[in-house]
Amino acid sequence: MKTPTFTITNLISDYLIRYEVSLERIKSTPLPHTHREELEGDLLTDDIYNLSELIGDRIALHQAEQVQEGKVMPSARKRLIIFTNYRSAMEFVKSYNQNQFIPPSSELLSHINKLIINKVIEEWEAGKMRTFSDKPNEIYDTWYKYRDFYPDKNMSAYFDEFFRWMQDRSNKTHKLIQLAVLLFELIDKAPLYGGNQITSIATVAAIAKDAGYNPEGMLSYSKAINFIAEDLMSAFKMSRSKRDQTIFIEAFLYAVSLEMLNLEHKYTDTFQNKIKKQGKLKEKFNTRQIKILEYLENVGKITRQEYTKMMRVSFMTSYRDLQELIKEGFIKSGGVGRGTYYSLKRSAKNAEDKAEQRLEVFGTES
């Protein structure tokens, strides 16, 4: 295997720093299991939806949610099987530990491929590395056309050597750069009979998780890549023509560092809204009032009659509860008479809390 050629640019350094900062903030945020599990479900739904766009087989968001929850209707199982398989692969990613399972290798690629392509292509083709004369199956693969059409390689031997390069202790290349180069090689070689695109993404996610760069397996590499799909392929073609992977590494790191920043915000926002906020509310309000604030976050508004019925209290008690919330500035009333309703009072967002730290966009011009 020829050692990859690239230069550590200022952009690459900036993206790595941004990624590491967000990663540390996530690790230092003590999110209870229940809230983390709920967040993981939402993230996986988003991940599956973005994957469907990326592979050119778009599904509706509610279908992605059904797949995530394992509640696919019998009539839709065949249509959604690739996404159900992907969900299984993501479960593997979350638990992947190279010390307890297969280390990064062609065998790992084959194992992940079998999970993903199960019942999609012929059983004998699943997990099998292709030879020089074998044409890969292009189903669910928008990267198919970018591959090297005549790779004079023994795929198993080539990737085993590549993974040894990644694992070599003398190799001081940052793990995220290694993952970018791995993705480049997988796109270029398309080593498997089918499902190369999804297998490539899942393999990168698994190795990142094992190396500590994909917390709880929650980072959506599908979403990150889908966000810059066309630009990433432009960077790929440019890097291949120059035989220098710098621009591709920049593109990949831009995408994943932006998605890690997004994950950081979701993680810390969940902590602020569900944990810290609830603790402060308990000091001011009773259980009914806290419950109705959570209800209004999701539903939007409620009448006093609905509140009285929901909480099983007297009309006067509901009046006092709601008036206290108005007085404290948490809710506001609208409408008149029997049409009076209550909704959350949205204060101006703190710009410092919500301002996203901008990342300089990589360029595809030389």
Is it the case that residue 349 has pLDDT exceeding 70? no
Which CATH number applies to 10-269? 1.10.3290.10
- Read off the pLDDT of each residue in 141-148 and give the average, rounded to a whole number: 92
Tokens describing residue 281 = 């509310």
Is it the case that residue 357 has pLDDT exceeding 60? no
Q: Provide the percentage of residues in the chain whose pLDDT is more than 70.
A: 91
Is it the case that residue 1 has pLDDT exceeding 80? no
Neighbours of 355 (CB within 10 A): 9
Q: What pLDDT was estimated at residue 32?
A: 76
Sign of the alpha-carbon torsion through 124, 127, 128, 133: positive
Q: Provide the percentage of residues in the chain whose pLDDT is more than 90.
A: 69
- The model's pLDDT over 100-126, given as tens digits with 9 standing for 90+, comes to 999 999 999 999 999 999 999 999 999
Which CATH number applies to 285-346? 1.10.10.10
Neighbours of 226 (CB within 10 A): 21
Q: Distance between CA 290 and CA 281 in Å, rounded?
A: 7
- Read off the pLDDT of each residue in 136-150 and give the average, rounded to a whole number: 89
- Read off the pLDDT of each residue in 45-68 and give the average, rounded to a whole number: 96
Q: What pLDDT was estimated at residue 240?
A: 96
Pick from 58, 34, 203: which is nearest to 142 by CA? Answer: 58
Q: Distance between CA 182 and CA 177 in Å, rounded?
A: 9
- The model's pLDDT over 218-229, given as tens digits with 9 standing for 90+, comes to 999 999 999 999
Quick one: how far is CA 362 from the chain centroid?
Answer: 21
C-alpha pair distances (Å), 12 with each of 51, 100, 135, 204, 205: 25, 32, 35, 18, 19
- Read off the pLDDT of each residue in 81-88 and give the average, rounded to a whole number: 98
Per the prediction, the chain carries an average pLDDT of 89
Question: Dmax of the chain from CA atoms?
Answer: 81
Contact in structure between 340 and 333 (CB atoms under 8 Å): yes
Q: What pLDDT was estimated at residue 345?
A: 77
Give the residue extent of every domain in the chain: 10-269, 285-346
**pLDDT band at residue 33 under the 50/70/90 scheme:** confident
One fold for 10-269 and 285-346: no
Q: In what order do the strands lie in the sheet with 341-344?
A: 301-303, 341-344, 331-334
Is it the case that residue 353 has pLDDT exceeding 60? no
Q: Which residues contact 93 (CB under 8 A, 6 or more apart)?
A: 202, 205, 206, 209, 214, 217
Q: Distance between CA 228 and CA 235 in Å, rounded?
A: 10
Q: What pLDDT was estimated at residue 344?
A: 85
Contact in structure between 203 and 222 (CB atoms under 8 Å): no
Whether pTM exceeds 0.85:
no
- The model's pLDDT over 281-296, given as tens digits with 9 standing for 90+, comes to 666 778 888 888 878 8
